[in-house]
Structure 1
Amino acid sequence: MLCLGIESSCDETGLALVLDGKLIAEKLASQVDVHAVFGGVVPEIASREHLRVLPVLFRELLKEQNLTVDDIDVVSVARGPGLQGCLLMGISFAKGLVLSSRAKLIGVNHLWAHLTAAGLEQELQFPSLGLLVSGGHTHIYLIESPTKFNLLGRTLDDAAGEAFDKTAKSLNLPYPGGKLVDDLGRQGVVDKKLFPVPYVNNDNLDFSFSGLKTAVATYVNNHSGLRLEAMGVPEDGEEDSGLAAERKNMLASFNYTVGRTLEVKVKRALERNRGVKSLIVAGGVAANSVVRSVMSDVAAGFSIPLVLPSMHLCTDNGAMIAYAGYLMAEAGCRHDLDLEAIARGRVVPSDWICEG
Structure 2
Amino acid sequence: MSTPCASGPVCLGIETSCDETSVALWAGGRIEAELVHTQIPMHSVFGGVVPELASREHLRLLDPLVESLLAQAGRPGGEGVELVAVTRGPGLLGALLVGIAYAKSFALARGVPVVGVNHLHAHLLACEFTGFIEYPALGLLVSGGHTHIYSMPRPGAFELMGRTLDDAAGEAFDKIAKLLNLPYPGGKYIDELARLGTPVRGLFTRPYLNNDNCDFSFSGLKTAVALHVVQHALPALDYAAFDPVVVEPRVKDLCATVSETVAQTLLEKTRRALGRADGVRTLCLAGGVAANSRLREVFTAFAEANGLKFLAPAQKYCGDNAAMIAYAGVQLARAGLASALDFEAIPRGRAVPDDYIVNPLFKE
- TM-score by structure 1 length? 0.96
Shift of 1:155: 0.3
Distance 2:162 2:221 in 1: 18
Question: Which of 244, 251, 257 in structure 2 is aligned with 1:253?
Answer: 257
Shift of 1:235: 6.0
Is it true that 1:89 corresponds to 2:93 in the alignment?
Answer: no
Question: Which of 59, 62, 69 in structure 2 is aligned with 1:61?
Answer: 69
Distance 2:138 2:126 in 1: 14
Q: Which residue of 2 aligns with 1:135?
A: 144
Within a 5 Å distance, the mapping from 1:15-94 to structure 2 comes to: 15-67=23-75, 68-94=77-103
Q: What are structure 2's unaligned runs of at least 5 residues?
A: 1-8
| Structure 1 residues 215 and 124: CA distance shift in structure 2, 3 A | same
Shift of 1:339: 1.1
Deviation sequence 1:50-87 (CA, Å, 0-9, x none): 00110111000111111132411110000000000000
Q: Secondary structure at the match of 1:71?
A: coil
Distance 2:244 2:221 in 1: 28
Q: Contact 1:23/1:120 (CA < 8 Å) preserved in 2?
A: no
Q: Which residue of 1 aligns with 2:309?
A: 305
Is it true that 1:321 corresponds to 2:329 in the alignment?
Answer: no
Q: Secondary structure at the match of 1:78?
A: strand
Report the number of matched residues.
Answer: 351
Distance 2:238 2:307 in 1: 48
Q: Which runs of at least 4 in structure 1 moved beyond 6 Å after TM superposition?
A: none
Q: Contact 2:25/2:31 (CA < 8 Å) preserved in 1?
A: yes
Alignment root-mean-square deviation, CA:
1.3
Distance 1:235 1:314 in 2: 23
Question: Which of 292, 299, 305 in structure 2 is aligned with 1:295?
Answer: 299
Shift of 1:102: 2.1
Q: Percent identity at matched positions?
A: 51
Q: Contact 1:146/1:324 (CA < 8 Å) preserved in 2?
A: no
Distance 1:184 1:235 in 2: 6
Question: Which of 187, 190, 194 in structure 2 is aligned with 1:178?
Answer: 187
Distance 2:263 2:129 in 1: 26
Is it true that 1:106 corresponds to 2:118 in the alignment?
Answer: no
Question: Which of 204, 227, 231 in structure 2 is aligned with 1:222?
Answer: 231
Q: What are structure 1's unaligned runs of at least 5 residues?
A: none
| Structure 1 residues 135 and 235: CA distance shift in structure 2, 3 A | closer
Q: Which residue of 2 aligns with 1:353?
A: 357
Distance 1:280 1:181 in 2: 23
- TM-score by structure 2 length? 0.94
Q: Contact 1:16/1:319 (CA < 8 Å) preserved in 2?
A: yes
Is it true that 1:341 corresponds to 2:345 in the alignment?
Answer: yes
Deviation sequence 1:205-228 (CA, Å, 0-9, x none): 000000001001111111223422
Distance 2:348 2:81 in 1: 29
Distance 1:91 1:34 in 2: 23
